[in-house]
Amino acid sequence: MSSATENMFNRHEDVASRVRSLMDQMTLAEKIGQMCQLEATHGYAPDYLGERLRAGQVGSVINIVDVDAVNELQRIATEESRLGIPLLVGRDVIHGFKTVFPIPLGQAATWNPDLVEEGARVAALEAATTGVNWTFAPMVDISRDPRWGRIAESFGECVLLTSELGAAMVRGFQGEALDDNGSIAACAKHFAGYGAVESGRDYATTNIPDTKLRNVYFKPFKACIDAGVSTLMTSFSDLNGIPATGNSYILTDVLRGEWGFDGFVVSDWDSVRQLQVHGLTENDSESAYEAATAGVDMEMAGDAYSNHLAEHVESGRVDLAAIDAAVARILTIKFELGLFEASQTDPGSLPDIASKRALDAARTAATQSAVLLKNDHDILPLQRAALNSIAVIGPLADARYEQLGTWIFDGDEELSVTPWHAIRDFVGDDVELQYVRAMENSRSRANDEFHRAVEAASKSDAVLLFLGEESILSGEAHSRADIGLPGDQVELVRRVRAAGRPVIAVILAGRPLTLSDIVDEVDAILYAWHPGAMGGPAIADLLFGVESPSGKLPATFPRMVGQIPIYYSQKNGGKPPTQENVVHIDDIDAFAPQTSFGMSAFHLDTCFTPLFPFGHGLSYTTFEYHNIRASHEEIRLGDVVTVSVDLANSGQVEAEEVVQLYTRDLVASLTRPVKELKGFRRVRLQPGATETISFDLHTDDLAFFGRDGQRTVEPGLFHAWIGGSSDAAQRTEFRIIAPDSVTGVNA
Ligand code: BGC
């Protein structure tokens, strides 16, 4: 055993014995107290929570960020309660704290785990100055429905991307060790399946077959657990008839039994009591029983546990051992955080808020998150020297708060630099600028200012249109049925377009929007998500070519809502559409007799392809992929195949490309998706340079959960693609053969 491992081992042993000796002294009421989290938002919390803290009835508080009040709560808990157990102080630190980073979906568009880790680290350091020691992030719900407002909080639709970025965020929050000054406990949420709510309506029902849970929805949680996440949160949603908060299959059988997770599980806000609203239980007492026996260790912001758990233990219906296990898990995290040694916070011991490190990371994240969706005739980057005048138009060009996005309770709007300010700074006196907001906000239907926008556009050499959604239109309980540009924005685009100048749309939004109405009306689209505080400078750098865009879509962009769900890893089906076997409604003769068209899986009134595929994102240079090859035609189970490609920067500027590896398992006992992302890498290349990019694929990377729920790798033929999007054209293949055969079972 290395000395590092030995230290770690001793630490765990030490924590376990400290937990045991503390629990030996605890009454049932004190144990249940640890399982209760109380809200601390109304007035001065020490005043109204003090008594319950002294009585040992509180394990955690949520939503308090006044460091003096937090210190006082900790003082009461540690000095005035019988056993002196410190508190977990929870807060939603989702994409930055004071310094706001791009929304998680935007961070996912960076495809850069190091950057996501750094963002979480910076957020942890800032949050820790207030005494917060536990965040409710990352959200790793696979999100394949852009109507769902919470897609903004997610890393998008892909299992691998979400898993890698979720793990990176956990590492960032938790740091090298939980008891380092500035580390906070993370929480992977919402277990499980929340992203699959019907029609993207928040909190709605989900129906997910077990094989899909295992192959898709569970995987990012497992990745976070492997990265050491301390806690998991349950989902509000109903999962196959059993709400997640009362679902012992996922919370106990899978999480504890199969994965051996030894952190603790917290409910979502009041979701224990909501078991009754779901129709699973008759009252709070039964809800407490169901949640506790399913495996929820702590109740968030409710009182079902505090009011009712004891009666179930006393009646023998709930085993004391189950309570002990939950409490031990909670106390373990408290010990690991070092709270028993130091629960008071000294903000001066931590870096300053909005430090250079924080602002730089937020700017880099915003820069790498922006996705260049289209760029006709290389209209971008703008050449400052060649332009006399630019019109900056739109409701989101100068909207400090809106660019921050959802979940920014603590975000400092004063730190926001808007695109309008950044562009002004960038061009200085060299270029004449005109700014017309044109709409009060993104939803506005008043168009009486549009003529000013048109006037400004006609007097300019180029038009920058800042469109999209205000932050209030995405996030929790902010789902939309129509995900087009809200208000009269499409009309604004049309009118401005008619002025005949080049039009560049910069879109700030919390989700993929349907852009079919404007895609042909503009010359370029830069999709900036809600980019956070440093969105302005990042966007200015990209528009003027200081940086080349390098973001890639973490979610498919549908042409219209009716295509949803549309995602890259769909199944082939028995009648897949091709360009040859589809028909468009406009091509059907009048009074056509009943007939079937092409007999394939498509809609008559749109293409079967999305507007922009997963992984898409242009650059100011051109990247060419050549010569894809697999190191072996055949590999045996347990072996590695290396898939390589030559990547050339054949354009004029140095730039970064996100190289993506996809595979398809052609024949399996459970049908497999047409493509699955298996690897990705950000590569920086000088113009004219070529680099060979290789990915090692172990046969385990090709495993899936089969009909029986068991993980398996089936021999047979695999296709592999490497490219700059999920539409990658360069393809090779290899075959996995059974250890004792030369042909393989699917040969
Ligand atoms: C959300 C959680 C969040 C919690 C605490 C709930 O409504 O679903 O994601 O962590 O509130 O704010």
Distances (CA, A) of 670 to 53, 551, 678: 53, 33, 19
Cα 231 to ligand 1 centroid, rounded to whole Å: 14
Question: Is the pLDDT confidence value at 725 over 80?
Answer: yes
Q: Residue range 336-362: average pLDDT? A: 98
| pLDDT given for residue 473 in this prediction | 98
Tell which wins on pLDDT, 87 or 746.
87
Q: Residue range 467-473: average pLDDT? A: 98
pLDDT band at 745 (very low <50, low <70, confident <90, very high): very low
Residue 136, ligand 1, Cβ within 6 A: yes
| pLDDT given for residue 13 in this prediction | 73
| pLDDT given for residue 739 in this prediction | 72
Q: Name the residue with the closest Cα to ligand 1, atom 6.
A: 269
Catalytic residue flag (residue 270): no
Cα 235 to ligand 1 centroid, rounded to whole Å: 9
Could you tell me whether strands 655-665 and 704-705 are parallel, antiparallel, or unpaired per DSSP bridges? unpaired
Specify whether the CB–CB gap between 223 and 168 falls below 8 A: no
Tell me whether residue 400 is exposed, middle or buried, using C-beta atoms within 10 angstroms of its C-beta: 0 to 12, 13 to 18, 19 or more.
Answer: middle
Q: Which ligand 1 atom sits closest to the C-alpha of 153?
A: 9
Rounded Cα–Cα distance for residues 21 and 403 (Å):
50
Per DSSP, 598 falls in state T
For residue 587, what are its two tokens?
A: 């091509």
Question: Sign (positive/negative) of CA torsion 501, 465, 435, 415?
Answer: negative
Percent of the chain clearing pLDDT 70 (strictly above) = 97
Cα 25 to ligand 1 centroid, rounded to whole Å: 33
Cα 516 to ligand 1 centroid, rounded to whole Å: 33
Least trusted range by pLDDT, from 398-412, 481-495, 583-597: 583-597
Tens digits of residue pLDDT in 473-499: 999 999 999 999 999 999 999 999 999
| pLDDT given for residue 744 in this prediction | 35
Residue 189, ligand 1, Cβ within 6 A: yes
Residue 145, ligand 1, Cβ within 6 A: no
Q: Which ligand 1 atom sits closest to the C-alpha of 190?
A: 9
Q: Name the residue with the closest Cα to ligand 1, atom 5.
A: 269
Specify whether the CB–CB gap between 154 and 108 falls below 8 A: yes
| pLDDT given for residue 12 in this prediction | 72
Residue 336, ligand 1, Cβ within 6 A: no
For residue 387, what are its two tokens?
A: 């332009």
Cα 535 to ligand 1 centroid, rounded to whole Å: 26
Q: Which ligand 1 atom sits closest to the C-alpha of 137?
A: 10
Report the predicted TM-score, pTM, of the whole model to 2 decimal places.
0.97
Q: Give residue for tokens 């850069």.
A: 112
Q: Name the residue with the closest Cα to ligand 1, atom 8.
A: 268
Question: Sign (positive/negative) of CA torsion 150, 152, 154, 158?
Answer: positive
Residue 92, ligand 1, Cβ within 6 A: yes
Q: For a substitution probing ligand 1, which of 269, 299, 474 has the most ligand atoms within 8 Å of its CB?
A: 269
Residue 476, ligand 1, Cβ within 6 A: yes
Residue 297, ligand 1, Cβ within 6 A: no
Rounded Cα–Cα distance for residues 117 and 172 (Å):
4
For residue 124, what are its two tokens?
A: 């942890």
pLDDT band at 216 (very low <50, low <70, confident <90, very high): very high
Residue 134, ligand 1, Cβ within 6 A: no
Specify whether the CB–CB gap between 181 and 350 falls below 8 A: yes
Residue 268, ligand 1, Cβ within 6 A: yes
Q: Give the angle subtended at the CA of 276 by the CAs of 274 and 279, to the nearest 5°.
A: 115
Question: Is the pLDDT confidence value at 7 over 80?
Answer: no
Q: For a substitution probing ligand 1, which of 476, 478, 479 has the most ligand atoms within 8 Å of its CB?
A: 476
| pLDDT given for residue 165 in this prediction | 99
Q: Name the residue with the closest Cα to ligand 1, atom 10.
A: 136
Strands (E), 618-745: 623-630, 634-636, 640-649, 655-665, 676-685, 690-698, 704-705, 711-712, 716-723, 730-737
Cα 172 to ligand 1 centroid, rounded to whole Å: 20
Q: Name the residue with the closest Cα to ligand 1, atom 2.
A: 268
Q: Which ligand 1 atom sits closest to the C-alpha of 189?
A: 9
Q: Using DSSP, state whether 680 is helix, strand or coil.
A: strand
Tens digits of residue pLDDT in 84-133: 999 999 999 999 999 999 999 999 999 999 999 999 999 999 999 999 99
Residue 478, ligand 1, Cβ within 6 A: no
Cα 412 to ligand 1 centroid, rounded to whole Å: 20
Cα 407 to ligand 1 centroid, rounded to whole Å: 10
Q: For a substitution probing ligand 1, which of 37, 136, 140, 153 has the most ligand atoms within 8 Å of its CB?
A: 136
Q: Name the residue with the closest Cα to ligand 1, atom 12.
A: 92
Nearest to 665 by CA among 629, 719, 707: 719
Nearest to 484 by CA among 497, 467, 464, 496: 467
| pLDDT given for residue 595 in this prediction | 85
| pLDDT given for residue 598 in this prediction | 81
Tens digits of residue pLDDT in 519-546: 999 999 999 999 999 999 999 999 999 9
For residue 82, what are its two tokens?
A: 């019988």
Q: Which of 92, 141, 145, 268 is catalytic?
A: 268
| pLDDT given for residue 747 in this prediction | 29
| pLDDT given for residue 740 in this prediction | 59
**DSSP track, 362-392:** HHHHHHHH-EEEEEGGG-PSP-GGG-SEEEE
φ, ψ dihedrals at 199, nearest 5°: 50, 25
Tens digits of residue pLDDT in 498-518: 999 999 999 999 999 999 999
Cis peptide before 395 (omega within 30 of 0): no
Residue 153, ligand 1, Cβ within 6 A: no
| pLDDT given for residue 746 in this prediction | 34
pLDDT band at 597 (very low <50, low <70, confident <90, very high): confident
